[in-house]
Amino acid sequence: MATIFIADYDFGDVEIEREIIERAGFTLSAAQCKSEDEVIALGRDADGVLTQYARIGAKAIDAFTRCRVIARYGTGVDIVDVDAATRRGIQVTNAPNDWCSDEVADHAITLWLAAARKICAYDRATRLGEWHWKTGQPIWRLRGRVLGILSFGAIARGIAERARPFGVEVWAHDPFVDELEMRQCGVRPVSFDELVAGSDYLIIQAPLTSQTHHLFNRATLRRMKPTAILINTARGPLVEDAALSEALAEGWIAGAALDDLEEEPAKQRDWRPNNPLLQLPNVIVTPHAAYYSEESIGLVRRIAAEEAVRVLSGRAPHSPVNEVARATVSSPTAPAVEHASIPDIALPASRIGLGTWAMGGMQWGGTDDDVSVRTIHAALDQGVSLIDTAFAYGFGHSEEVIGRALAEHGGRDRVIVATKGGLERIGDGLFRNSSRGQMFSEVEQSLRRLRTDYIDLYQVHWPDYAIPYEETAQALADLQQAGKIRAIGVSNYSIEAMERFRRIAPLASAQPPLNLFEQQALQDVIPWCRANEVATLTYGALCRGLLTGLIDENTRFEGDDLRKTDPKFLAPRFAQYIAAVRRLAEFARERYGKSVLALAVRWVLDQPGVSVALWGARNPGELTPLNEVMGWHLDQKALIEIDDILRETVHDPVGPEFMAPPERLHA
Ligand SMILES: NC(=O)c1ccc[n+]([C@@H]2O[C@H](COP(=O)([O-])OP(=O)(O)OC[C@H]3O[C@@H](n4cnc5c(N)ncnc54)[C@H](O)[C@@H]3O)[C@@H](O)[C@H]2O)c1
């Protein structure tokens, strides 16, 4: 029987939910998870998950074994990684915002009036025996002042409507709402700067997004009027609390009223009131209670439970947050994975090969080995029969992870393991070296790390201009003779280099970069391979994530992520590539009902001469669209339209040359 798991709740009991869930024939389990690990430990095998504050991030989503729906108690879904859920075909639902919009608007007005009229200060003082109007001095008349609202969504409109009778002039800033619409509501549309500098009372009611996180920092607070009062009835992290404490203590602004703190206490198990804001007299704080009334809380509980039941019963939810392409979820009816052949390898290669660069744990912001192993298993279980790695991916770490995954999974003889060598580690750097001695020693080490006694395809990673190609080719021919490697390939080689190489050793494959944004190989390497019966394994089908459709202007790359220096991800080109992805996504959806990711991979597979497209995935969910890529083709007209889109959007193209490792240093 399907189980619905309540990850956390603060209602005292779950009887409302139980009634709905058990009546529908499902079982209920409930917990008080305060971390994603607790969600994983207790909810991994649930069919549906309800959450109030517990974070359901990509880690939990990837760990779920059968989850089909995540229902949020409330409207905001900032605690759920919706993209990760979509990739795994999990429906996310919320409550339409009118479940509590009256309550929040009432609360915002209450906080505003309480702060402006110094209600809490008067109350505290009178209880201590101070009976004087001066306690609250100065208090300014509301009439004629400016009340600014950040956002003009449902709640903000309710606030505007309630505020007007007090005689204030209402301003709002919302980049996504038509100015005319605001004017029709008697509200003046203003820029963010005008809002900040001109408001006497500023109510924050925008959702928490990467754009609004810490929007109220020192720089913003310094631009406000010294008499201004800031009210936050949205989410705590829109305000940088340390900056606000400073602003209030030093008089940059006069007061604040907050329904949440930056640390979001409701999401913590052992919260203590250590936030310095709680020591200041000119701050009012309520415990994220704006949404609460007896009516609203009952309603949101019913909505969440009913949405989960609806999805698990095969019905459409009333309030979906994401679009789940159910057809893309693995199913017995999904089209079979296509295959290609590689010379000297008996096993047919799936035309999608698993790329494992990120599994090396370096250059892509870090990875978790257990997740990598599960990703490899998921790929194999979905029919991927080729895994591509290299010593360079984490100085052998990626190979070790593959070795472990294959040992745990079994079926080594049904997998084509392709790895690469010819790059030598010196300190923390990699330098080209494909001398005979280097190739021999690297093959031995790769065999050990991969826990195997043969490598299906061994490739020279980059041409080494200091060593004759013939020397490298002879070394690999000898290793092939010895049975250590079955087929020989090269990567990033020119035609001239391949011509020389294959006079000495049989060349089974070449590995050039190829994707919608990096098409050079179609002019040289790929046609040559086609004419000479050399298989191609192309890399970078998703152009380092750009073509997933999940990267936009706000995406930030952390740590040693190589995209921090990739010219495609830097101004001025980044905006052009993002614009191209948007247009391509629109085209894919309208023309084929597909995602941009599926279009991008299909485009690579449909190029004559491409045998296998490598797809770099770091968690099982990222492979969900695999079936969406199989079993269809782009027609000639579509290929032309795609070229037009690229020409119109990318004016200043750049290739992947920045990735090339240096040659060896010579004294
Ligand atoms: N404190 C509480 O108890 C409580 C309860 C409900 C909602 N909220 C918060 O209030 C927020 C708004 O709720 P709603 O029902 O009005 O949502 P809504 O979706 O109706 O409106 C949100 C508005 O914000 C605008 N917006 C988005 N990004 C913006 C930006 N960078 N600058 C300015 N405006 C921006 C959107 O265009 C939209 O008009 C929620 O996301 C939630 O964080 C808090």
353-378: per-residue pLDDT in tens? 999 998 987 665 667 888 899 889 88
Q: How far is the CA of 150 from the centre of ligand 1 (A)?
A: 9
Instruction: Indicate whether 4 pLDDT > 50.
Output: yes
Atom of ligand 1 minimally distant from the CA of 234: 9
Rg (CA), the chain: 30
Q: How far is the CA of 32 from the centre of ligand 1 (A)?
A: 27
What is the DSSP code string of 429-473? EEEE---HHHHHHHHHHHHHHHT-S-EEEEEE-S--TTS-HHHHH
Nearest Cα residue to atom 18 of ligand 1: 153
Give the three-state DSSP class for 587: helix
Atom of ligand 1 minimally distant from the CA of 233: 1
Nearest Cα residue to atom 34 of ligand 1: 151
User: Domain check: are 92 and 109 in the same one?
Assistant: no
Query: Which tens digit of pLDDT belongs to each residue from 562-577?
Result: 788 888 888 888 999 9
Atom of ligand 1 minimally distant from the CA of 176: 37
* Catalytic (active site) residue 393: yes
CA distance 88 to 85: 5
CA distance 586 to 580: 10
CA distance 354 to 376: 8
User: Domain check: are 72 and 142 in the same one?
Assistant: no
User: Domain check: are 148 and 83 in the same one?
Assistant: no
Give the three-state DSSP class for 648: helix
According to DSSP, the residues that pair with 175 across neighbouring strands are none
Instruction: Indicate whether 666 pLDDT > 50.
Output: no
Atom of ligand 1 minimally distant from the CA of 97: 15
Q: How far is the CA of 42 from the centre of ligand 1 (A)?
A: 32
CA distance 424 to 401: 20
Nearest Cα residue to atom 22 of ligand 1: 153
Is 479 within the bounds of a domain? yes
CA distance 504 to 329: 46
User: In a 10 Å sphere around its CB, with 0-12 CB exposed, 13-18 middle and 19+ buried, how is residue 302 labelled?
Assistant: middle
User: Domain check: are 533 and 625 in the same one?
Assistant: yes
Nearest Cα residue to atom 11 of ligand 1: 207
Atom of ligand 1 minimally distant from the CA of 289: 3
Verdict on whether the full-model pTM lies above 0.85: no
pLDDT at residue 269, rounded to an integer = 80
User: In a 10 Å sphere around its CB, with 0-12 CB exposed, 13-18 middle and 19+ buried, how is residue 65 labelled?
Assistant: exposed
Is 317 within the bounds of a domain? no
User: Domain check: are 528 and 588 in the same one?
Assistant: yes
User: Domain check: are 123 and 44 in the same one?
Assistant: no
Ligand 1: which of 151, 174, 191 to mutate, judged by most atoms within 8 Å of the beta carbon? 151
Domain count of the fold of the chain: 3
Is 582 within the bounds of a domain? yes
Is 664 within the bounds of a domain? no
Give the three-state DSSP class for 92: strand
Task: Let me know how many helices (H) and strands (E) the chain has, helices first.
Answer: 22, 24
User: Domain check: are 304 and 392 in the same one?
Assistant: no
Atom of ligand 1 minimally distant from the CA of 212: 31
Q: Are 350 and 456 in contact (CB under 8 A)?
A: no
Q: Annotated catalytic residue: which of 53, 73, 393, 458?
A: 393
Instruction: Indicate whether 288 pLDDT > 80.
Output: yes
Q: What percent of the chain has pLDDT over 70?
A: 96
Query: Which tens digit of pLDDT belongs to each residue from 66-114?
Result: 899 999 999 889 899 999 999 888 999 999 988 999 999 999 999 999 9
Atom of ligand 1 minimally distant from the CA of 291: 3
Q: Is the preceding peptide bond at 567 cis, omega within 30 degrees of 0?
A: no
User: Domain check: are 281 and 208 in the same one?
Assistant: yes
| Strand arrangement of the beta sheet that strand 229-232 belongs to | 188-189, 169-173, 146-150, 201-204, 229-232, 255-258, 283-285
Query: Which tens digit of pLDDT belongs to each residue from 536-568?
Result: 999 999 998 899 888 888 888 777 777 888 888
User: Domain check: are 88 and 18 in the same one?
Assistant: yes
Q: How far is the CA of 500 from the centre of ligand 1 (A)?
A: 63
**Structural domain range at position 61:** 3-98+295-312
Average pLDDT over residues 454-467: 96
User: Domain check: are 55 and 157 in the same one?
Assistant: no
What is the DSSP code string of 173-192? E-TTS-HHHHHHTT-EE--H
Q: How far is the CA of 71 from the centre of ligand 1 (A)?
A: 19
Query: Which tens digit of pLDDT belongs to each residue from 18-65?
Result: 999 988 778 999 999 999 999 999 999 999 999 999 999 999 999 998
The residues lining ligand 1, judged by C-beta closer than 6 Å to any ligand atom, are 75-76, 97, 100-101, 104, 150-156, 173-177, 205-209, 211-212, 233-235, 259, 288, 290-291
Q: How far is the CA of 164 from the centre of ligand 1 (A)?
A: 20
pLDDT at residue 327, rounded to an integer = 35
Report the CATH number at residue 27: 3.40.50.720
**Neighbouring C-alpha atoms within 13 Å toward the C-beta of 561:** 14
User: Domain check: are 126 and 256 in the same one?
Assistant: yes
Which DSSP letter does residue 239 get?
Answer: B
Ligand 1: which of 149, 176, 216 to mutate, judged by most atoms within 8 Å of the beta carbon? 176
**Neighbouring C-alpha atoms within 13 Å toward the C-beta of 170:** 24
pLDDT at residue 664, rounded to an integer = 59
Q: How far is the CA of 142 from the centre of ligand 1 (A)?
A: 25
Report the CATH number at residue 400: 3.20.20.100
Q: How many CB atoms lie within 10 A of CB 313?
A: 11
Instruction: Indicate whether 667 pLDDT > 60.
Output: no
Nearest Cα residue to atom 7 of ligand 1: 234
Q: How far is the CA of 151 from the centre of ligand 1 (A)?
A: 6
Ligand 1: which of 10, 52, 97, 161 to mutate, judged by most atoms within 8 Å of the beta carbon? 97
Is 549 within the bounds of a domain? yes
Instruction: Indicate whether 332 pLDDT > 70.
Output: no
List own/partner pairs for 27-32 with CB under 8 A and 24 or more apart. Answer: 27/1, 27/2, 27/3, 28/3, 28/4, 29/3, 29/4, 29/5, 30/5, 30/6, 31/5, 31/6, 31/7, 32/8
Is 325 within the bounds of a domain? no
Give the three-state DSSP class for 489: strand
Atom of ligand 1 minimally distant from the CA of 260: 1
Ligand 1: which of 106, 159, 205, 285 to mutate, judged by most atoms within 8 Å of the beta carbon? 205
Is 177 within the bounds of a domain? yes
Find the range with the poorest average confidence among 281-285, 381-385, 415-419, 474-478: 381-385
β-strands 612-616, 352-355 pairing: parallel
Is 321 within the bounds of a domain? no
pLDDT at residue 217, rounded to an integer = 98
Average pLDDT over residues 488-506: 96
Q: How far is the CA of 59 from the centre of ligand 1 (A)?
A: 26
Query: Which tens digit of pLDDT belongs to each residue from 124-147?
Result: 999 999 999 999 999 999 999 999
Instruction: Indicate whether 610 pLDDT > 80.
Output: yes
pLDDT at residue 87, rounded to an integer = 87
pLDDT at residue 265, rounded to an integer = 92
pLDDT at residue 313, rounded to an integer = 76
Average pLDDT over residues 440-467: 96
Residue 391's pLDDT band, with cuts at 50, 70 and 90, is very high
Distance of CA 451 to the CA centre of its chain: 33
Nearest Cα residue to atom 41 of ligand 1: 207
User: Domain check: are 94 and 108 in the same one?
Assistant: no
Average pLDDT over residues 299-308: 96
Ligand 1: which of 52, 72, 73, 75 to mutate, judged by most atoms within 8 Å of the beta carbon? 75
